[in-house]
Each structure stands twice: as structure tokens, then as C-alpha cells.
Amino acid sequence: MKRLIQILLITLLIAANAFAQDFSASVDKTVVQQGERFQVSFTFSGGDVSSVRDFRPPSFQGFAILSGPNQSSSVQIINGQLSASLTYSYILKALRPGRYTIGKASLFFRGKRYETNPLKINVVKYKTSQKSNGRKSQSEQIRENVFIRAVPNKRNVYKDEQIILTYKLYTRLSISSPQISKLPSYKGFWTKDLDMPNSINFHYEMYKGKRYRVAEIKKVALFPRETGKLKIEPFELTVPVIVQRRRSHGDIFDDFFNDPFFTQRETVEENIASNAVTINVKPLPQPVPDDFSGAVGSFEFNVSVDKLSAKVNEPITLKMVLKGTGNIELAQLPEPKIPEGFEVYDPKITDNVRTKGFISGTKSAEYLIVPRISGKRKIDKISFVYFDLNKKDYVRKTFGPFYLDIARGKEAYAGQTPTGGFSKEDIQLLSKDIRYIKTNNFNLHKKRKEELTPNWFYGIIFGSLFVFLIAIAVEERKQKLSSNAELVKLRKTEKEARKRLKEAKKSLDEKNLTEFYDKLSFGLTTFLETKLKIPKSEFTLDKAISELKKYGVEDSLISQIKETYEKSEFARFAPSSLDETSAKELYENTVKLIMKLNGLISKRKSK
């Protein structure tokens, strides 16, 4: 019995040793030079590594991912003991000097989540060694000849003033299609992408005494929503650069001088970043008018009424039109004060925004008003106030008042007085209905109950009551929606999101992939603005992700949102790389993603 217990204990110790789990991170070097490549590995060791799930890498902020995750596994049996491991490895490139921390990676194994320890990396500036004979590194030479410039059209602006930021790619080398490695951040701005050609068009330009081939790869309109100094983070691309492979030591750009030793070509991927841009934003002049619309730019405003004379129940159209250049999508049109005696319907809002070169266009609101009472009526004057950038002052445009003459209509109740009295026609009709009762030559007999109150009479009574209750419910709901502006806006925005997704599907069917990515991204943006209650003027992807995390949205779903935005951005300057099959797959995944997010967010809000 004692021997059996010893054997059992030894077996348990071997099993415990064999199936002990460990998840660790390692790096092949902790001090690297700028532009140098190195490898980071995350290794899980334990028993059955096939049960590993949901590996989540760190962000690798400050580094370019050249390769990975590359997965490998190994199983060994040494002296009867099982040893298994699973490794996820990445090849990274150091971008800028500094001390960096590679955060924790995590994975899920048999009901428990494991995390690695963070790694410290010191990136030092490249130093020319004596062996290099004073020559620059390959990475340094590439960056001198391939780079991005972020060029704003102005750096000192008012709050909400339009800024055009252009990203220009400069090159003196042969390059192929670039890939986005990091989208720029526009914290403190409301943004809108401007139209770009379907293909990259290069032209020659002199910069700092050198001649480059230059192409505009992205244009965006920025509207600062905050004052002070606002910083725009760099836009990063991974650019495949085609260089000559040397037979002997020398400068890799000797091919410019017809060096005969160059016989082969190779492609080197280089991560390049634009310059950071700082914008100085001034507040609008004080005092700000109480009825300021929020519009900043150069605008024209007009109000019109299609008729000043009408009959009762004859519709009248009041229309307001705003036209010009500036933050027209953020501008709020005034609400007209309609006098009593009119039924007013929800306005039809129409936006026609142009995104070619800069943001301009028209915004209109069309009100349908129906007079229900005859007489003279007055619509008070309507004013629109905007800040004119040319005058550096507020400008007020005023129209009205409008005097309406409402005549009686042909309907029966149209002839009634406002107090509810009867008209002459009503009295004449009533006199015809009065007759004396004839008292002779007739027999009276008792009617059965069914004859006095037939079944159809009860049907009319209960049917009328049912219709009346429905009418009350509809009216209450209408009043509730009208009194809750936020809810009305929410319903309209959800409708707009569905509309954009349908338009994206139509563009996909028509094989217009560039337009497809634009509308798909817009539909997703509108959905997030609605569900997360983020004002359109304050929406950024980072803010949306922050709100989604509050609702407990998984990182995998957030990654899908990022992927959709990145593909949409890339489609603007590399449409030739788009694939119809992948576009269809992205659309289906986006629709599923929206449905999943909608259910998750609605469920959390109801708690």
C-alpha cells in the first residue's frame, strides 16, 4: 500500500511538471539602432497547446511591423516527460530614437487568461562606424530620398475655420504601392476627406534645391472645434522601395551615376512618417450673438414663401436655403415661428455638400404649413447669423416678416367661425330636416331588441372607439417625438446610416469600389455617432473606440472597425489594389459587425 502511494505521488509530480503553464516574452536585442530590425517572441509552454485561444498582441507603438505574427510550435518528450510550446513572433523595425515599452501580450488557456511581462527597448540614433567609411546607412539614404510632407494651407485660424491639409509624397527613387501603417490623428478637429483622383499622379517639384517626383496622396478638410495650439500627429506609410544590389561596397544610389557594378534589384520596405503639424486656433470675437448659427466662412442665405394668399387646407411652402463655403454641415438653420391656426409638418432637410478642393455646397430646410383657420396671419422675420472670415465679423441676414391672407375653403367646417358657431348653410340645411309628425293612419307595434339595435350598430360603435384610441396613441407619440429633439435626431440618423449602407451595396454591385468604400465608411461612422450619442462635430475614431470600450465591446470587434477605416482610407490613393471579392466580404462583415454592435449596445443601455 505504501509503495502504491509513492508511485501515485511520483506520477502526480511528473504530470504537474509536464503540464505547468508559462507565458513569456523575449527579444533578441534590447538596444537597437534607428531603422534596425529585431525580433520579438511570445512563447506559451505547457501541456496541450492546442487549447490556446484568443492571442492578443500588444500595440507595438513606435515600431513598424515588418512581419508577423509568425506562429510555430514544438513538442518534445524527454525522459518520459512531455514538453510543448507555442510561439508567436514578430519582426519589428525601430522608427525613432527613444526608450519604448512593448506592452503585455495575452492569451486564453483552459478558462484562464495569461499575460506576458512588458519589454523595454532602447532605440538609439544611427551612428556611422569607421568600417562604413563615413557612408550613411541604407535606411538613412532612403529617407532622404523618399518622404511625406503634411502641408496645411494656413496655420493661424479661427475656431471652426476651414483648413485644407494636403499629404504629399516625395521620391527620387522607384517605389511601388505604399501601405498605411498608421492613420493620422485629428484630435480637436471635425474632419472630412476631400475628393482625390483614382490613381496617383506624379509631377516634378523642387524642394530644398533637389528635384523630386511629387504626388498628392491625401487631402482632408479640418475644422477646429477647440481653441489653442492643436497638434496633428504624423501620417505613416510603409513604402516598398526598389534599390540596386551592389557587388562591391559603395553608395546604393550610385545607379544615378550609371555605376556599372549594379546588376540586380531588390525591394526594401521602409516605414516613413509625415511631419507633425501644429495649428494655432483663435476663439471667435466677443460678444457672440445669442442666435449665432455656428457657421464660419462665406455664405448666402435666403428665405422664401411660395404664396402669400391661400385658402383653408391649402398647403403653403416656406423654404430656407444656405449656400457657401465653410463648415456648412455644422451650421444650424433657424426655426421659423409659425403662428397659431397652422398645422406644421417636420421639415425636409437637404444637404448637397461638395468635397472637391474644399468644403462648399448648399443646405436647405423646406417646411410644409397648412392653414386650418381663415384670416390674416403673420410669420415673424427669420434671421441667420454667421461669422464672415473676409470681414472678420458677424453678419446677419434677415427676411420677413411674411403676411399671409387665408380665405375660407369649400369644406363644410371651413365656413365655421373660430368660435364654433354655425353658418347660414348649416341653418338652412337644418330647416329642411324639420318635419311634423303624422299622428293618424299608422299602427304601433313592439320592436324586438335586435330590430332596435342591430349588430352593425355595435360594430360601428366599437370600431369608432378603436380608431379613436389609435388616433390618440399616434398623436401622443407624435407629440413625444416632437418634444424630444434628441430622439427625433436619433431616428433620422439611424435612417441615414441604413441609407448609406444601401448606397454602398449599390456602388459595389456597379463595381464602383472607390465610391463603395467611401459610403461604407460613412455608414459605419453615422451608426457609431447615433448609438454612442457622439455629436457629428466631435466624432473621431479614437473617441468612438473609447466609448465602445465602456460598453464592454471586445477588442476583436474594435479591430474590425479599425480595419474598415484603414481600407477606406487606402482606397482613396491606391484604387488599383482593390479587389471586388474582398470588397464584398468587407461589406458583409461590416453589416454583421453593425448588427452585433447594435445588439450589444442596446442590451447594455437597457440594464
Preceding omega of 178 cis (within 30 degrees of 0): no
Give the chain's length. 607
Q: Would you say 349 and 343 are in contact if contact means Cβ atoms under 8 Å apart?
A: no
Provide the CATH topology of domain 138-282: Immunoglobulin-like (2.60.40)
Q: Would you say 310 and 402 are in contact if contact means Cβ atoms under 8 Å apart?
A: no
The C-alpha atoms of residue 324 and residue 330 are separated, in whole angstroms, by 13
Cell digits for 470?
Answer: 389609435
The CATH class of 485-606 is mainly alpha
Distances (CA, A) of 62 to 175, 271, 274, 370: 24, 11, 14, 63
pTM higher than the cut 0.85: no
Mean pLDDT per 10-residue section of the chain, whose length is 607 residues:
49 46 82 82 77 82 79 63 75 84 84 85 69 64 89 94 95 84 84 85 87 91 93 87 63 48 68 90 94 94 94 94 93 92 91 91 94 92 95 94 88 41 37 44 49 63 76 65 46 64 81 76 79 72 79 77 69 56 78 79 68
The predicted structure's pLDDT at residue 76: 60
Helix (H, G, I), strand (E, B) or coil at 233: coil
Task: Kindly list the domain boundaries of the chain, sorted by start residue.
Answer: 2-124, 138-282, 293-407, 485-606
The predicted structure's pLDDT at residue 552: 78
Q: Would you say 272 and 181 are in contact if contact means Cβ atoms under 8 Å apart?
A: no
**DSSP letters of 246-264?**
PSSSS-TTGGGGT-TT--E
First to last CA, the chain: 59
Closest to 88 measured CA to CA, from 25, 180, 164, 1: 25
Q: Would you say 380 and 291 are in contact if contact means Cβ atoms under 8 Å apart?
A: no
Which DSSP state fits 67?
A: E
CATH architecture observed for domain 2-124 = Sandwich (2.60)
The C-alpha atoms of residue 449 and residue 452 are separated, in whole angstroms, by 5
Cell digits for 121?
Answer: 527597448
CA angle 271, 276, 280 (to 5 degrees): 170
Question: Are β-strands 277-282 and 228-232 bridged in parallel, bridged antiparallel, or unpaired?
Answer: antiparallel
| CATH 2.60.40 at 293-407, yes or no | yes
CA angle 412, 418, 421 (to 5 degrees): 65
The predicted structure's pLDDT at residue 299: 95
Radius of gyration of the chain (CA): 36
Q: Would you say 289 and 385 are in contact if contact means Cβ atoms under 8 Å apart?
A: yes
The predicted structure's pLDDT at residue 392: 94
The predicted structure's pLDDT at residue 587: 81
Domains 138-282 and 293-407 are alike in CATH topology: yes
The C-alpha atoms of residue 148 and residue 272 are separated, in whole angstroms, by 7
The predicted structure's pLDDT at residue 323: 95
